[in-house]
A and B are shown apart, each in its own frame.
Chain A
């Protein structure tokens, strides 16, 4: 599902999402699988974002929130996402700052997993999506994923992350 909505519109779009169960941080693998029912993927429009989203959709059922340089407001929909939702994304620095701010307002947690060049290959994006998902679920089980912080330090412009509300 691809959604491009304003903050006000998001209230309507997400009306159904609010009915989903709350996901505690210490959930089991089975619960983590169920949590994928309310996972949200944040990506930029364009090739890298498309590959990242498609890779995630192979393992998770996600709702997509597309962002572009003239539409940062869509990030504010985080205020209306259900408690316990898992967010995964591949975004720019500006978008990361805004997502982090919105997650903080929900008293959630956000963790970057990599900073990569915008010229990263499609296969690496797929690996990045898989690694980020693994890190998110590992975190949800109370374990520390050893590669969960800035594994690829380049002066790049795309940042992968996961977050929980």
Chain B
């Protein structure tokens, strides 16, 4: 009998060995992974948690929906949990690892077919393993003038994975789940559900009409463990005749209030239609330079050092990146509105011509027109040590609340000696307040401190009614609790109804049977 590293909870080595043989009969020996060497890549987490708590029993790489269905049958037989991943690049949220120890990683990277792109309707249907780069290449090679809206890791990640985790991009189609249309889902009983219009045989409108008939179900398969999403419909933005990127800089941290107050009416009125980024200096600079160039002492980087960096790099305390889309005439009109709105608020406005050659502006402009760039990975150089955990509370798009959240975050991060590396991504009426808690994962004391810091951030923000839109695998239970017992109870009742043995991703978003 094979010597397994980690057994699923309640499963004997003999049972697990039998299950492995059955999995291999489905996907082939070469797509079943149980050795420690082969599982290492599924346990490389950047968050401040013990990797052992998230170690996998094995990994399976199916190539088709039928293989996923057959795998689920074996999981049901032996009560072995599976944790689906698309490409496994959920950096700072847990990467490819599961919320709990002993799950089988269901690695869907081999399911990487672009099933359909409709150039006229601006839709696509993709499998989980398709990456933004792959889809971008397909559009270019077929001369299809549609744009994507990738998140910052862009080329590496999966549109399906990002949408079902409710991630965001930076074009007017930036809310990736909002701009999805239709899913295919393998349920825990092995059945295949198509949501929206997709349930109807021979439907012609699966990717064009979201709601179908009766209850709309797509939302319950996002950030959840009620099924395995094996196809996703996407709406793609037609390439506009013209595009203009610009940056608006404010000099002081307290200016976040003015920044949000000024941008909100422009967003709600769709003068500025894209997901606007308001990046703090430490996010801007963090992707460009390293911390030790400005500060080598203990504790958070002091304001004086941040000011020196701002001066060296020519950036503001807050830097708003936004775009205008449409015909040249529309853009000229809206540009006048934007400039007049910000005039007299203390802001400096610079457009593409003025910022030509600036690498930070260039990568922001690329993201706002749906192009691939890996520039933002530079943030990992800021502090060094490979630790990163995204703290992601939601704020109203109201200046006072933006300022309050900034002040609280800086206070808590400062207490633990970490830096406020943050940005707001402004949607229609809200801001995703994204804070990258960067730490040295190779330093056990610092990693533990980062864990405590993250915990306190969650506690204090939720106490003020500021909930997280997403979190990492080590804090999913805690965040679920912040949304109250009734929500957790309903989540659990749905789980028990759809997956009574709890074989799909137990612990995802704090949901168990």
Q: Which residues of A contact B310 (CB under 8 A)?
A: none
Query: How far, in whole Å, are A94 and B153 apart by their CA atoms in the complex?
Result: 12
Say which residue of A7, A94, A118, A155 sits within 8 Å of B380 (CB atoms).
A94
A157 and B290 form a contact (CB under 8 A)? yes
**Total interface residues in chain A, CB < 8 Å:** 27
B380 and A109 form a contact (CB under 8 A)? no
B380 and A157 form a contact (CB under 8 A)? no
A105 and B109 form a contact (CB under 8 A)? yes
B377 in the interface, Cβ–Cβ < 8 Å? yes
B379 in the interface, Cβ–Cβ < 8 Å? yes
B374 and A73 form a contact (CB under 8 A)? yes
A101 and B156 form a contact (CB under 8 A)? yes
CB distance from A160 to the nearest CB of B (A): 14
CB distance from B446 to the nearest CB of A (A): 9
A94 and B385 form a contact (CB under 8 A)? no
Of residues 354 to 400 in B, which have CB atoms within 8 Å of A's CB atoms? 359, 372-375, 377-381, 383-386
CB distance from A12 to the nearest CB of B (A): 15
A70-B375, A96-B386, A97-B91 are contacts. A109–B40 as well, Cβ < 8 Å? yes
A124 in the interface, Cβ–Cβ < 8 Å? no
Of residues 116 to 148 in A, which have CB atoms within 8 Å of B's CB atoms? 118
Q: Which residues of B contact A17 (CB under 8 A)?
A: none
A93 and B442 form a contact (CB under 8 A)? no
A153 in the interface, Cβ–Cβ < 8 Å? yes
Q: Which residues of B contact A57 (CB under 8 A)?
A: none
A94 and B377 form a contact (CB under 8 A)? yes
Q: Which residues of A contact B41 (CB under 8 A)?
A: 100, 104, 107, 109
A76 in the interface, Cβ–Cβ < 8 Å? yes
A93-B384, A93-B385 are contacts. A69–B292 as well, Cβ < 8 Å? no
A155 and B443 form a contact (CB under 8 A)? yes
B384 and A69 form a contact (CB under 8 A)? no
CB distance from B130 to the nearest CB of A (A): 13
Q: Which residues of B contact A34 (CB under 8 A)?
A: none
CB distance from B463 to the nearest CB of A (A): 33
A contact set with B: CB distance below 8 Å: 7, 69-70, 72-73, 75-76, 92-98, 100-101, 104-105, 107, 109, 115, 118, 150, 153, 155-157
Report 23 cross-chain contacts, Cβ distance below 8 Å, ordered by A residue: A7-B133, A69-B378, A69-B381, A70-B375, A73-B155, A73-B372, A73-B374, A76-B133, A92-B381, A93-B386, A94-B381, A95-B377, A97-B91, A98-B374, A101-B89, A101-B156, A104-B44, A104-B88, A105-B87, A107-B38, A115-B385, A118-B290, A157-B292
